[in-house]
Structure 1
């Protein structure tokens, strides 16, 4: 005998899950959190605006700022007196002349020819010669040359004759070239040419050559 109510076949069992409820609860919490954060943000902005509007402006500060804004350049420049434009011209200052120190005049001490040694000759002063140049020519000290001529104060060209001491006076013989004569008396060829006023290495037979001292006297 068949049942009055036929049995249902292949009926799936109903599954009970809490996942949709949890998801919904999380969404609700997120919405509430966002609403709370937005409310806090709006309330902070409104409080800041109220503080700004409640600030009272000090009138003295405004006056000070307006005074500082006026620069001295905007003011009219004061008129300069006419006397400043007509300044007195500076008086010219004469340049100072450089005074050269006067050479010290040393007292001449008499020097005897025997104390110097050698042979005495005379030298006639030429143009441009000085005490120092003549003394150097004969290898003498300046004091020695002046001491040999104590009566001479000024050197005048072609007028003053000086007494000079030299080592010797050599008469040129055959084969006497300047180099040979200089080595004979222990001096250089250049010193021999200087003492005789020569510019060329040449001497004639019978010529008298002045031999200067080998060391300064």
Structure 2
């Protein structure tokens, strides 16, 4: 049986190897071009590196100084460290407030003491300037007594007692020997029905002042007893 299919032209078969050859040649040329371009870039970089002048000692020193003076960035604190720092700050502030309160109390106390001393000085000055009225009573110093204690016993100031006894030094008094002039309101002789409350009302002084002046610990009197009535 005969084959009626059309055979391929001979020219088309002969063109295929030619096209393949051209493609290969083009690839080789492209590879050569890429290699040449790469070599050219390397040469340029080498020339740039070789042409860069070396750094002088001054430049190196300046760079070192810049590194030293460059600000150091602190690392952020952790949460626990921040809390500890905050707690420490709170404690310090509380301690400062406590110290401030104590200082204010001390200053206030000093002011009060200074005020009392000033008032006492004024009282003593008035007492010194204005002579005390009343009866003069001679007191003999007894064991355990002091100049200031005797003044308190008879309810007069130390300055007034010193005015009444200008020749006697407070620190030089002697038991049983030194005699002090003391101003009192009166010397009362106890009569019938003269209990301390009644006597105090009569002279316008407190019962306790009469007991202190006469060194009494109990509210008792005896007929004929001499009671010292201190100044009110």
* TM-score tier after normalising by the smaller chain length: 0.3 to 0.5
Could you tell me the TM-score, scaled by structure 2's length?
0.43
Higher relative contact order (CA 8 A, sep 6+): 1
Q: Which has the higher helix share?
A: 2
Larger of the two Rg values belongs to structure: 1
